[in-house]
């Protein structure tokens, strides 16, 4: 998938493209699959942008699949929660007609539970599932290219988050080779940054040093 310069450019031709916003990336693999990954603290503005994109269905072939990755959500503005829930409730009746399968990848935090709890509370049909691992979510879609799609989307997400904070790429590369004894002080020194600057960059990307270490360990285990 190729990046779009902005939301407007993406909406003009979304197929095989993705668009990066400050706290989310929205992608459209083809006319049968699209999704989003969210991170950090979502504002009303973020939600409004997401709604604007999700309401555009001109290029989709019904029914299609959706993958929502909310693992990295840290929090919502209260107004953002209210806006999303109010909009989503108006869409429930159309869910059966438009979406074949909806896979939700969630984390352990409250924001992710808000998203997944919404679907449970309002009783969507059985075409949605929640997953701890994104690979499992893509495999559940039963697409012949599921493994390749998983890898492509994970790369898009990593690229999107790195674009918000260029330091994230070098940090992850360093962790991959120094995971056993990694500390925030050591990593900051290796990257030529202060600890405060590194933590600020992590915050911009919607992550933390602890989360990056955890994910590096998971990747090493895989």
pLDDT-derived band at 122 (thresholds 50, 70, 90) equals low
Classify 67 as helix, strand or coil.
Answer: strand
| Other residues' Cβ atoms within 10 Å of the Cβ of residue 207 | 20
The rounded distance, in Å, linking the Cα atoms of 128 and 171 is 35
- pLDDT computed for residue 114 by the predictor: 63
What is the average per-residue pLDDT within 123-131?
71
Q: Write down the mean pLDDT value for the chain.
A: 83
User: By the 8 A CB rule, do 103 and 66 touch?
Assistant: yes
Q: For residue 204, what pLDDT is reported?
A: 65
pLDDT of residue 26: 96
- How confident is the model at residue 116, as a pLDDT? 59
Concatenate the DSSP letters of all residues of 129-195 into one string: EEESSHHHHHHHTT-TTHHHHHHHHHHHHHHHHHHH-TTHHHHHHHHHHS-TT--HHHHHHHTT--H
Span 54-110, pLDDT tens digits: 999 999 988 899 999 988 887 777 788 888 888 887 877 777 788 889 898 986 655
Query: In percent, how much of the chain has pLDDT > 90?
Result: 30
How many Å apart are CA 202 and CA 122, to the nearest integer?
35
More confident residue, 183 or 73: 183
15-46, pLDDT tens digit by residue? 999 998 888 999 999 999 999 999 887 888 88
Beta strands in 55-146 (DSSP E): 64-76, 99-105, 128-131
The pLDDT of residue 68: 92
Q: What is the pTM of this model?
A: 0.72
- Residue 203, pLDDT > 60, answer yes
pLDDT, residue 218, reads: 73
So what's the pLDDT on residue 165?
Answer: 65
Question: Average pLDDT of 134-154?
Answer: 93
Are β-strands 33-42 and 24-30 bridged in parallel, bridged antiparallel, or unpaired?
antiparallel
């Amino acid at each position: 998938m190729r990046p779009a310069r902005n939301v407007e450019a993406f909406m003009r031709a979304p197929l095989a493209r993705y668009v990066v916003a400050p706290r989310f990336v929205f992608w459209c693999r083809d006319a049968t699959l699209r999704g989003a990954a969210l991170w950090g603290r979502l504002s009303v503005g973020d939600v409004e942008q997401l709604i604007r994109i999700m309401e555009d269905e001109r290029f989709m072939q019904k029914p299609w699949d959706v993958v929502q990755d909310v693992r990295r959500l840290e929090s919502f503005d209260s107004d953002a929660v209210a806006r999303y829930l109010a909009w989503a409730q108006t869409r429930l009746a159309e869910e059966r007609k438009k979406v074949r399968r909806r896979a939700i990848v969630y984390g352990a935090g409250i924001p992710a539970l808000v998203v997944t709890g919404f679907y449970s509370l309002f009783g969507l049909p059985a075409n949605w599932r929640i997953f701890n691992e994104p690979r499992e979510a893509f495999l559940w879609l039963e697409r012949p290219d599921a493994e390749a799609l998983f890898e492509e989307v994970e790369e898009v997400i990593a690229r999107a988050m790195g674009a918000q904070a260029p330091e994230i790429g070098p940090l992850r590369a360093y962790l991959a080779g120094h995971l056993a004894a990694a500390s925030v002080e050591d990593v900051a020194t290796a990257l030529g940054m202060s600890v405060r600057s590194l933590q600020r960059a992590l915050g911009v990307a919607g992550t933390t040093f602890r989360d990056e270490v955890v994910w590096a360990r998971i990747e090493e285990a895989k």
